[in-house]
Amino acid sequence: MVEATRRIAPDHLQQLRRSCAEVITPHDAGYDDGRRLWNAIHDRRPAVIARPTSAAEVAAAVRFAREHDLEVTVRSGGHSHAGIGGANGGLLVDLSSMRGVAVDPGTRTARANGGALLGELDVAAQAHGLVCPTGVVGHTGVAGLTLGGGVGRLQRHFGLTIDNLAAVELVTADGRLVRATDTDEPDLFWGLRGAGWNFGIATAFEFRLHPFGPDLHRGVLSYPASEVRELWSLFRDYALAAPDAVSCIFGLDRAASDAGYSDEMVGKLIVYFAWNHSGAAEDVERDTAGLRSGPKPLTTTIGSAPYLDVQSAHDLAFAWGSRSFIKSHNANDVRPAALEELVELVAGAPADGSFDITALGGAIGRIPEDATAYAGRTSAFDLSTGAGWSDPAEDGAVMDWCRRVMAVVEPDRALGAYANGNADAGPEESRRIYGDAKLARLAALKREWDPDNVFHVNPNVAPVRADA
């Protein structure tokens, strides 16, 4: 790594320092802090870190990297599970000095800078009684999340984060600043909504906002896992017809000691239903009746809380420095035999391994599949597994376990695998994420905007023809 830095002659580094507000090398005091990623399993050592404060500085950094043959990596929130907000060697463009969100309540729009975090967008929008559907942890980057789609608590009601995106400004591989909207560079705008990291460095996003809040209505019901088949049937049939205002999750987890379970249940496997209702308080009982129509739950938690409190409630539990692994893909149903196998696997999971099925559909599913690069709007559910742990000695066992879990539901796979929900990266993953047809369209777009694959440290679309 130091070798890579030495290859950049001091006068060349001076050139970068003149065009970019902050430049950090391995010899600088801030290097170790600057190269850190949210997921502690990844230890990346870039040769040089550029921290621009404007789109012009981002463009200068890209041009510098290309002139000096340095691999380009990009980071906004640093939350990639795959640790791709950095690499060994090369130039890391770190947008953490480009945070900030401005809301115009008159037009109900928000402008987020390329390095903004979700919590900034949530707070700025709620200050005017507005919302953009984002993700569930406030310190996640707007950029990485949005460019992949953006799933969270309000998406069945208001669509994916990209469905609320009006414009992206980005620096392209040749250092140009381009604005993409439905009417300006519409093909590029199509690709930015689902595979966006491939086409440049986003320096700003404009979002459409919706009147909302301040409260979100919520519930969690838990049941013994022995009833997994019946519970899945109930959940599936409810979710397939659920009102848009209800987002819901079917989960397999172990009963926590602080969650109101009897002593003999603690540590045992449970099935839970969790929902968020983003409509009027008086509609909650009616809208969730189907979900509550099962056997008597082991535990019941129902209430309302300010949306901003809910959105930041997990910020500490998912603090920087976590070790984490996740995998996911879409499905329309899960076979009963697979459910039984999952019960066994999760009961014996390493770390805090769990398995979730999140209902898609609603506003997500009403946008035509070919309207954006994001793949899988026609699929009913996202199946995902993940774990967090702290001991590096557990890394291999946890990752193997997560892969085994997803192998059980491989036969249930339907179109789409959320790019931001997969810690495994590589060309085969991109095929699974987008499917052959979309990958071919994306590859053609990539040949137009980034033929040399400058931006490749991401869920990458190679600029090659399938028949090449």
Ligand X SMILES: Cc1cc2nc3c(=O)[nH]c(=O)nc-3n(C[C@H](O)[C@H](O)[C@H](O)COP(=O)(O)OP(=O)(O)OC[C@H]3O[C@@H](n4cnc5c(N)ncnc54)[C@H](O)[C@@H]3O)c2cc1C
- Does 145 contact ligand X by CB under 6 A? yes
When the beta carbons of 145 and 234 are compared against ligand X, the nearer one is 145
Tokens of 83: 């640790």
For residues 318 and 125, what is the distance between their CA atoms, to the nearest angstrom? 23
When the beta carbons of 343 and 375 are compared against ligand X, the nearer one is 375
Tokens of 177: 């600043």
- Does 152 contact ligand X by CB under 6 A? yes
91-110: which residues touch ligand X (CB under 6 A)?
95
409-428: which residues touch ligand X (CB under 6 A)?
420
Judged by CB under 6 A, which of 318, 394, 399, 431 binds ligand X? 318
- Does 51 contact ligand X by CB under 6 A? no
Return the range that interacts with ligand X (CB under 6 A); candidates 44-52, 138-146, 237-245, 369-377.
Answer: 138-146
- Does 143 contact ligand X by CB under 6 A? yes
- Does 133 contact ligand X by CB under 6 A? no
Q: Where are the alpha helices (DSSP H) in 241-378?
A: 284-288, 307-312, 336-347, 363-366
When the beta carbons of 135 and 294 are compared against ligand X, the nearer one is 135
When the beta carbons of 25 and 76 are compared against ligand X, the nearer one is 76
Question: What is the radius of gyration, based on Cα positions, of the chain?
Answer: 22
- Closest separation between CB of residue 82 and ligand X, Å? 8
Task: Give the number of other CB atoms < 10 A from CB of residue 429.
Answer: 18
273-302: which residues touch ligand X (CB under 6 A)?
none
112 within 8 A of 87, measured Cβ to Cβ = no
Return the range that interacts with ligand X (CB under 6 A); candidates 20-28, 67-75, 125-133, 175-183.
Answer: 67-75
- Does 141 contact ligand X by CB under 6 A? yes
In sequence order, the 6+-apart residues with CB closer than 8 A to the CB of 215 are 281, 304, 305, 306, 307
When the beta carbons of 314 and 465 are compared against ligand X, the nearer one is 314
- Closest separation between CB of residue 162 and ligand X, Å? 10
10 within 8 A of 56, measured Cβ to Cβ = no
Binding mask 185-214 for ligand X (x = CB under 6 A): ------------x---xx------------
When the beta carbons of 354 and 458 are compared against ligand X, the nearer one is 458
Judged by CB under 6 A, which of 77, 191, 362, 365 binds ligand X? 77
For residues 17 and 81, what is the distance between their CA atoms, to the nearest angstrom? 30
- Where residue 404 falls (left for φ over 0; alpha for ψ -120 to 50; beta otherwise) is alpha
- Does 147 contact ligand X by CB under 6 A? yes
For residues 123 and 308, what is the distance between their CA atoms, to the nearest angstrom? 7
Give the 3-state secondary structure of residue 466. Answer: coil
Give the 3-state secondary structure of residue 45. Answer: coil
Binding residues for ligand X, how many (CB under 6 A)? 34
Return the range that interacts with ligand X (CB under 6 A); candidates 101-109, 136-144, 372-380, 444-452.
Answer: 136-144
Angle at 246 between CA 135 and CA 160, to 5 degrees: 35
For residues 110 and 311, what is the distance between their CA atoms, to the nearest angstrom? 18
Phi, psi of 201 (to 5 degrees): -105, 115
- Which of 292, 176, 300, 288 lies closest to 242, judged by CA? 288
Judged by CB under 6 A, which of 26, 34, 52, 144 binds ligand X? 144
Tokens of 32: 């170790």
Name the site residues for ligand X (rule: CB under 6 A): 38, 73-81, 84-85, 95, 114, 135-137, 140-141, 143-145, 147-148, 150-152, 197, 201-202, 318, 420, 457-458
